[in-house]
Structure 1
């Protein structure tokens, strides 16, 4: 959340992924908050336990460095997209990422996003200040199905 109260979704993470690792490395307060979209189980490691583990197995740093490099590359790609793509392009890129991450084959060449994504969340993921009606009407890329 920014100083102006604007929220930005910087990443979607799934089962088995690590969050909060920066604070373990640099001893600074966390840089982001995490919100679970569904029932979840988390494991927590204290800074001291992490330091003890890395003393016993320095290879942990190698894996952590690879993870951080991958996240930095993703951030670079997102910044480039935000700099060079139109609003429509940013939203389209976000939708494609969501399809890759949580999309399910719905048959007949269609992909179903099996999570409810609000216009506000889509804007926060796209890095854009967008009106919900613009995204849903002008882009024409979203189809809402209501199942009774």
Structure 2
């Protein structure tokens, strides 16, 4: 059975279709802190995460970062490069040892031309990405810093018994980079939430102990 069945962009494709696409992919391993894509690079491939984790971010001329997303197994990036000839719109770095299946543009274009189901799968996933981007912009535009922190923690957390746990390790600076705020402001809010018994942070891993307040 093809490993690609766990990649959302290929959901709904038959085993035969998946096998044909898998034959186009090459496997690459990267150590932690490897820059896979640089913002502004010429784009020519799509990357699917087989194992490990990556961080997707943009930065300005002074090196200040804004984190767009974190990705793990079953997720993918670089798909826009398969549809146009524009340069990379973001950078991607591994946050732990990672393995990728890589499909280059020329090969993928041939697969789409031969498989209408794949083209429809691409459109569905692009629509989902646009919706998520719209939601992120809405959060940045309409919510205060606390609201952005609250939403970030809740979106990243998974239920474990009576509490919720953010499995990805996050520093205060990581959170600040995700929400477009200063580390100092993030630190103050997290401290207040900790004192209030709402959250607990151990080894950069956050636990949500009870329902977070709607406002700060």
Asked whether the two chains share a fold, i.e. TM above 0.5, the reply is: yes
Give the structure 2 partner of residue 143 of structure 1: 200
Contact 2:156 2:166 in 1 (8 A): yes
Query: Runs of 4+ in structure 1 displaced over 3 angstroms?
Result: 138-142
1:51 paired to 2:105: no
Q: Which has the higher contact order (CA 8 A, sep 6+)?
A: 1
1:11-90 correspondence to structure 2 within 5 Å: 11-90=69-148
Please give the alpha-carbon distance, in whole angstroms, between the structure 1 residues aligned to 2:107 and 2:172.
40
Give the structure 1 partner of residue 168 of structure 2: 115
User: What's the CA shift string for 1:15-64, capped at 9, x where partnerless?
Assistant: 12220011111111211122233332101111111111112113222111
The SS at the match of 1:29 is coil
The SS at the match of 1:94 is helix
Give the structure 1 partner of residue 49 of structure 2: none
Please give the alpha-carbon distance, in whole angstroms, between the structure 2 residues aligned to 1:29 and 1:115.
29
Alpha-carbon RMSD: 1.9
Contact 2:153 2:166 in 1 (8 A): no
Contact 1:104 1:114 in 2 (8 A): no
Q: If the length of structure 1 is used for normalisation, what is the TM-score?
A: 0.84
1:134 paired to 2:191: no
Ranges in structure 1 where 5+ consecutive residues have no aligned partner? none
How many Å apart are 1:124 and its aligned residue?
1.5
1 or 2, which has the higher strand percentage?
A: 2
Q: If the length of structure 2 is used for normalisation, what is the TM-score?
A: 0.59
Please give the alpha-carbon distance, in whole angstroms, between the structure 2 residues aligned to 1:116 and 1:84.
27
Contact 1:87 1:128 in 2 (8 A): yes
Ranges in structure 2 where 5+ consecutive residues have no aligned partner? 1-58, 204-216
Give the structure 2 partner of residue 91 of structure 1: 149
1 or 2, which has the higher helix percentage?
A: 1
The number of aligned residues is 141
